Amino acid sequence: MKMQAVTDISIFDCNRIAENTLWNLGDQKELLLHRIHAYPAKFPPFLVQKLIEYFEGDGKEIRLVADAFCGCGTSALESARLGKNFWGCDINPVATLIAKTKSRAYRPTYLRTLYKTIQTSASSSIVRAPESYHQNQRLNYWFDADTIDRLFRLLRSIEKFVPEGKYRNFFLTGFSNILKPCSRWLTKSIKPQIDPKKVPAIPLDAFDKQIKMMIKAVEQVQSSVDFQSRVEIVNRNLLNLRVQHSFADLVITSPPYVTSYEYADLHQLSAIWLGYTDDYRSLRKGTIGSEHHSDETESIYEQANRVAKDTYDKLCKVDSSKAKSVLRYFYDLDLAVQRIRQIVKIGGSVAFVIGNTSYKGIPVDNAKSLAQSLLDHNFKKVQVSKRKISYKILTPYRNQLGQFTSHSRGRKVYSHEYILTGEK
């Protein structure tokens, strides 16, 4: 699989790289377990498998795979499926809940017994949610009063009958994924907005469908994944992590987009119901690009890499506030590269999957800035490959509501992304 080597960043141009079709499609059917909970900007699972095989084909011994931005645990499940140990980190507690749920083994009969108990308890209860729930502005905004009561009864039944640990996480993940269908949230929108015409799903019905699907997903992996490997998933800010020693043979990761705070906004229903925060906006804190204040721009600019400075200078001419946020993003991404370098063993490898964007006609070349960071922090054999983003083949635009559409009047969504690799 040919990649283009990056040594001279001044002539590196992502647009001139030919698409490498080898990274476009997988040869195995995606596991149902990958679909138990919606999550934005997930990896296509086959990519993790192909990357592991790629490095092994290159003679690397891969025992432990790490993902510094593990999201909902696509790389965790795929690594476990291939018998690799795994370490993953994500700042979003909803992400790490899903990732933990997806990377453990369960007994389906026990899941069914627990589910029956939850169902019986929640459907026979007439308890109302406390006044604090009904007075919560966010809950009232998204849910009608009756749904708040029904969801409350369901959640309390899970907490009462399922002991803490992986089984409880399993049901909480299911609960989390029915919140949007049970609310007024515009279906499939990536922006938090109300659909005034929507008839929200009934919690117990939605939960029934959800849990049955999850148990089917568990049964599907029973024969193909032995879950003997060690999987550790931490809910942390990567940038604040103290890395005592390097431990990963391979890091496979995909950093958040420039506006990564959106991940927090998108999970506000789960974050509030699961008690992670009262104010979902606090989940934005610490995400890549949010660590510094705009009055620190000057000192950040001084330390930023060449591509970041260049992008900042160009963006400043059209929108200085956007320019500052892009600069902060590139700066944090550079810190993330340094942290990831600490995680990787000497001789170990890294693979980043990242897309580019533009703002008011100015290219925001995330791949180039990342390549620059890899070179600046002494990664060897830095290479890049271009792949087509498969789900955007049929729906390459976004409409004004942020939904994917095949209608060409919508905003064009980027159809390609880049895989950057390197070695420590």
Ligand X SMILES: C[S@@+](CC[C@H](N)C(=O)[O-])C[C@H]1O[C@@H](n2cnc3c(N)ncnc32)[C@H](O)[C@@H]1O
Closest CB to ligand X among residues 246, 259: 259
49 binds ligand X (CB under 6 A): no
79 binds ligand X (CB under 6 A): no
Residues 6+ apart with CB under 8 A from 123: 204
149 binds ligand X (CB under 6 A): no
CB of 332 to ligand X, least distance (A): 7
CB of 286 to ligand X, least distance (A): 5
72 binds ligand X (CB under 6 A): yes
Of 78, 90, 417, 423, the one binding ligand X by CB under 6 A = 90
Of 26, 32, 42, 202, the one binding ligand X by CB under 6 A = 42
Give CA–CA dist 236/286, Å, rounded. Answer: 9
As a dihedral over the C-alpha atoms of residue 120, residue 123, residue 128, residue 129, rounded to 10 degrees, the angle is 70
Closest CB to ligand X among residues 233, 238: 238
Of 256, 355, 396, 410, the one binding ligand X by CB under 6 A = 256
Angle at CA of residue 284, ends 306 and 203, nearest 5°:
140
CB of 131 to ligand X, least distance (A): 32
288 binds ligand X (CB under 6 A): yes
From the list 36-44, 163-171, 196-204, 269-277, the region that binds ligand X by CB under 6 A is: 36-44
92 binds ligand X (CB under 6 A): yes
Nearest to 384 by CA among 4, 58, 23, 47: 4
Residue 270 in tokens: 């789960």
Give CA–CA dist 418/16, Å, rounded. Answer: 12
Task: Output the residue with the shortest Cβ distance to ligand X.
Answer: 71
Give CA–CA dist 329/364, Å, rounded. Answer: 11
Sort strands 64-67 and 85-90 into parallel, antiparallel or unpaired. Answer: parallel
Of 69, 143, 161, 329, the one binding ligand X by CB under 6 A = 69
DSSP 194: B
167 binds ligand X (CB under 6 A): no
From the list 1-9, 235-243, 308-316, 391-399, the region that binds ligand X by CB under 6 A is: 235-243
Strand partners, 353: 419
91 binds ligand X (CB under 6 A): yes
Residue identified by tokens 């991404």 is: 333
Closest CB to ligand X among residues 158, 371: 371
Give CA–CA dist 105/12, Å, rounded. Answer: 45
Q: Site residues for ligand X, window 326-365 (CB under 6 A)? A: none
Size of the site for ligand X (CB under 6 A): 23
Give CA–CA dist 268/258, Å, rounded. Answer: 19
263 binds ligand X (CB under 6 A): yes
Question: Does residue 334 contact residue 307 with C-beta atoms inside 8 Å?
Answer: no
Residues 6+ apart with CB under 8 A from 185: 142, 192, 193, 194, 195, 198, 269
CB of 267 to ligand X, least distance (A): 9
* 4 φ/ψ angles, rounded to the nearest 5 degrees: -95, 130
Residue 180 in tokens: 């949007």
Closest CB to ligand X among residues 74, 157: 74
Residues that bind ligand X in the complex, under the rule CB under 6 A: 39, 41-43, 69, 71-72, 74, 89-92, 95, 237-239, 254, 256, 260, 263, 286-288
